[in-house]
Every structure is written in C-alpha cells, then in structure tokens.
Amino acid sequence: MTTAAPHNVPETVQAETLDLAARFPGLVTPDERAGYSGWIVTADHLVQVALALRDEFGYDLLSSVTGVDYLPEGKMEVVYHAFKTTGGPGICFKVQTGRDNPEVPSLVSVYPGAELQEREAWDLLGIKFTGHPDLRRILMWEGFYGHPLRKDWQEPYYEDEAKPFKSRSPEGHVYRFEDRNPFGDNVRYPEDFDPEKWIPENPEDLLYQSLKTYRAESPDSIETEHIVVNMGPQHPSTHGVFRFVVALDGEKIVNLKPVMGYLHRNHEKIGERNTYLMNMPYTDRLDYLSPMSNNFAYALTVEKLMGITPPERAEYIRVIMAELTRIANHCMCIGSLLNDLGAFFTPMIYLLEERDLILDIFEATAGARMMVNYFRFGGVARDIPEDALEKIKGLAFERLPRILDEMDRLMSENEILRARGIGQGILTAEDAVRYSATGPLLRGSGIPYDIRRADPYSIYDRFEFDIPVGKNGDIYDRYIVRLEEMRQSVRIIQQALKQMPEGPIVVGKPQYQFRPPVGESYGRVEGPKGELGFYIVSNGKPNPWRYHVRAPSFINLTAFGPMCIGQKVADTVAILGSIDIVLGEVDR
C-alpha cells in the first residue's frame, strides 16, 4: 500500500530463547511455511506440550485460541497464542487436523481461560475439542445449521466470495438485498426442520442441562430444591443484550452460565469478505465505546503483516487518541457500575460530560463521535486540527486532573460503594491468570500486566506512567484501578503533547486496495477492557483469508461464572459492571 521500504519485523523472538522442537523431538516441529512462525504440535501431545509451556517455560496466560479453515489444503488448524504475565513476547503454537471431522484435545484442563474460546471455535468452525467440559454452541443458537466461519459456508445475503462486488459499477442497477435473498426467509434450515418442534439430539447441548453440572454441596445435609433464574437479555443491568442463567440455592448462586450471541453478526465472516481497508470502519463497531483502540490494534496487525511503520507524528497522534479513548471508556464503565450499585445517574452524568468533551475532539479530528474510522495502515487519516489540539491541551492540562480528583471525592469513600465493593466478587490473582483475564480485571487482582509495559508497541516505551494494581481483586479494587488508570492516561497525553513533532501523518500514498505478502500476524494492544488482539492470515489476495478478533470483554467473561459462585443475585449485577463488557465486542 505504500512506497516505504519494509523494515525487518523480528521473526517470533522465542526461536532463540526456546527451542520446543529440541524439548519435544518428533512431537513439535517449527512452522516453516513462508510468512508463518511458531510451532506445530501433534494433536495427541497437545496437552503435554501445553503443560510444559505453562509450568516449565512460564507461559501462564493463554491469550488467544482460534481456528483457521485451510480449505484448499483440506486442513483445519487451531492457533494458540500464549504469553508470560511477567512480560516479553509470546509463543504461538498450532495443531493441525483434517477438515472432515476435525478433533483436537481441549486445553481447558491446562488453561481454563480457553473455555469460551474453544466453544467459539466449535460453534463457528466446527472443530471438536475432546475433553471440553461444556462444548455447546456459544454465539449461534443450538439449532443452527452449519458452521459459518468455514470457507464453504455462505450467508443469506451471499453475493460473492469477496468485495468489491461486480454488480455495483459500471452497470450498477440498484436493488435491495432482501429482494434478492436466496434463502427466502433470511434463514437456511436443513430439510424437514421445524424450529418449533426441534429438540437437540444430544441433551447435553441444552443450556439448562449444562447448568445442572455443579457439585451439590449442602453443609447441613438438608436437601433443598434449586431454582433457575434468567437475567437478561432485556435487563438494564446487563449493559446490552447479555443474558446469564443462574442456579440458586436460596439466595446463593451455585452455578452461573453466560448466554451470548444476541448481537452476533459474524464480524469475522464479514471481515473475510472485505478488503483490508474496508475492515477499518467495521472495527469501530466492535467495542463501540473505545473505537480508537480497535482501530489501533487492527492497524498494528496489518502493518506487521506488511512490514511498515507509521511516521513519528502519526505515532504520537495514535497514542493521544488511544489514551483519550481509554479515559472515555473508563468514564462510561465507572458511571454504569455506580448506576448498577444504585447511585442513580449522578456519577454517570458527571462522567458522561467528560466523555462528551472527548467525543467532541474525535468529531473534530476523525469526523465522527463514535464510529471514528481514523487509523490508516502506516498512519492516521488526517492531522489534528488546531482547535481540536487546543481542546486536548485544555482537557489534559486543566480540566481532567481537576475532574478526576472531584470524582475521587464524590465516589471513592462512599459507604455504599465500599460496602458493595470491598470483599465482593473476588477474583484471586491465580484465578485471573488461569481464566485468561486481561486489562483492569487482571490488574485489579494484583498482577501488574499491562501490554504497554510488558510488550511495548508503538511508542509506549517513551512515556513514564505507572501501572495501578489492586490488592484483593474485588469490585472496589477494579473501580480504583480504573480511576487511577485515567490519571495515568492523562499523564501519557501530557507527555505526548509536549513531545509531538511536526511532520507527515501517513507513509506513502494511501491506496484502497493492496495485497499484503502471504503469512500470518498477531497484533495486540492494551485496550481499555484488556488485551485486544487481531489474528490475520493473508494468502496474498486483497482480502484476508482469516480475520480473528481476540475480544477482551468476551474472554473476560470466562471468569464471570466462577466469580459469582457463592454470591447473592444482586451482587452479580455489580460484578458484571466491574468486568466492563460491551456487547458489540462480546457477540461480534
């Protein structure tokens, strides 16, 4: 896409530090396909290798699990990315299996954080994970026909394998999609299928069946009947269309299962039909409260694939925008957490005012308040206008420090917040890592893992900032971590404003269609909600072959059930509020 000479992207650094092939001769081979890196593990020995990676080599955080459908080769591949919570680059290992009946051992026993992600890979790609405790569909409903991310699966409004479609110009006679829907009623069913009468073949597939799989403990050995309560999807405390089902013993929760997918639109399938650039505005719609971070992660990943770096000024603009978005996101999160706790809209409105001022800056710079579409590969779309720059300075140097102190006075010592927050919804540091939690959820549990520091990207190694951590891993700690993170973001913005040089904001001449070299790339940023990663496989065409989003709010929900067990129903609302989810990203 640009004329700049590609700089050398370091091939996965672990090759020097860690030779898995020597440790497991015959079981692990290096991935030698051009543009690929990491290790290929034989399916039978996956658990053994994963155990060694976790216990011997210290890769304790399994960040991303996803599958790739290599249709031409007739293969399915499961790709794992693991990192150390002490920092440094990660390791990527893969398992290959046949396409007809793909089966891979589950890693839930080693990394419980893989639970929801393996379910997603089963749902969307049809890869069976043997030994998974609860392998049900997760984003599609139980009776859904087919696995939509498979390359030979076609969606209802299917027109062509890849955009741009031929029917738009020069003979572009307009029509509406629904008028030409090949499946009539917008859904495709197997023959003789009646959704009203359908019962799954395997009763284990049913939600309420899986809810019953808990160890019944009655300390006083009195048998009591457990009742099932549904919260959501239309419940104000679930921050959108999230639903969770709880099994209750009296008022105490004995089991909780999240149910999601009500906002599912198969972002990844759309992304594989799109060209690389077309995906940029779609990423805004993932976590719509922090669009700049989404742009950032996607731009980084594609830049890694193409081997380009943005100019200095663009790097600074990116950092400023990403930190502003973090403040805006935490304003929203703290506001709605306090709402959930009963502080009806006073903190929310106060914080929304700050968020609005930040959105004004986005509007003046990027052109939209939320759907910014601001980053380009090798830079940003346009420079910050003079008046917006003045606004950022006013916010960073004058207003935000004052307001954050005011918010601290308003909330932090409030007795209700402390009573409902301290000691509630505890996630221990150990569990947080096991469940692959990232972001404020992990740091609230006392692990100082922040990708901006642990594995710096862009120019974050140039700034001074602290990583706030909590002590107990409860709701109150997560609140305090977020409040403190906003202060640190202000610090970063202040430094960036002082250091920002003049100069170009994008390398080369922007092109709307280009072909990155064949290969894979995993890029990640520290989003406001946690590690936001993109995994992209390119086959040299203008459209990505595989486009996967490692969504932090989705994966952070893995820990939601375990955190709630033993708590009261009313506490689930507060716990969910303290995880900070956005359904656009959970359901994708």
Question: Contact positions toward another protein, by CB under 8 A?
Answer: 163-165, 167-174, 176, 274, 277-282, 346, 350, 353, 356-357, 360, 363-368, 371, 373, 381-382, 385, 387-388, 391, 394-395, 398-399, 406, 409-419, 422-423, 510, 512-513
Q: Give min distance, CB of 455 to another protein, in A.
A: 30
- How far are the Cα atoms of 146, 329, 445, 500, 535 from residue 384, in angstroms, in the given order? 46, 21, 37, 12, 30
- The span from the first CA to the last CA of the chain, in angstroms, equals 28
Q: Give min distance, CB of 274 to another protein, in A.
A: 6
The nearer residue to another protein, 52 or 388, going by C-beta atoms, is 388
Tell me phi and psi for residue 30, to 5 degrees: -70, 145
Q: Give min distance, CB of 187 to another protein, in A.
A: 20
Query: Kindly report the CA angle at 77 between 44 and 242, in degrees rounded to 5?
Result: 105
Q: Give min distance, CB of 390 to another protein, in A.
A: 9
The nearer residue to another protein, 4 or 368, going by C-beta atoms, is 368
Q: Give min distance, CB of 244 to another protein, in A.
A: 26
Residue with tokens 């994963």: 50
**DSSP letter for each residue of 456-520:** --TTGGGS-------SS-SHHHHHHHHHHHHHHHHHHHHHHHHHPPPS-SBSS---S---PPSEE
Rounded (10°) CA dihedral 239, 358, 548, 114? -50
The nearer residue to another protein, 243 or 482, going by C-beta atoms, is 482
The nearer residue to another protein, 155 or 360, going by C-beta atoms, is 360
The nearer residue to another protein, 33 or 180, going by C-beta atoms, is 180
The nearer residue to another protein, 278 or 570, going by C-beta atoms, is 278
Q: Are 34 and 60 a contacting pair, CB within 8 Å?
A: no
- C-alpha R_g of the chain: 24
Q: Give min distance, CB of 398 to another protein, in A.
A: 6
Q: Give min distance, CB of 395 to another protein, in A.
A: 6
Find the DSSP H helices in 235-311.
267-273, 279-284, 291-306
Q: Which helix (H) or strand (E) holds 227?
A: strand 227-231
**Which residues, in sequence order, are CB contacts of 386 under 8 Å at separation 6+?**
none
The nearer residue to another protein, 56 or 160, going by C-beta atoms, is 160
Q: Residue 533, Cβ neighbours under 10 Å: how many?
A: 26
The nearer residue to another protein, 366 or 532, going by C-beta atoms, is 366
- 91 closest CA partner among 108, 79, 105, 104: 79
Q: Give min distance, CB of 165 to another protein, in A.
A: 5
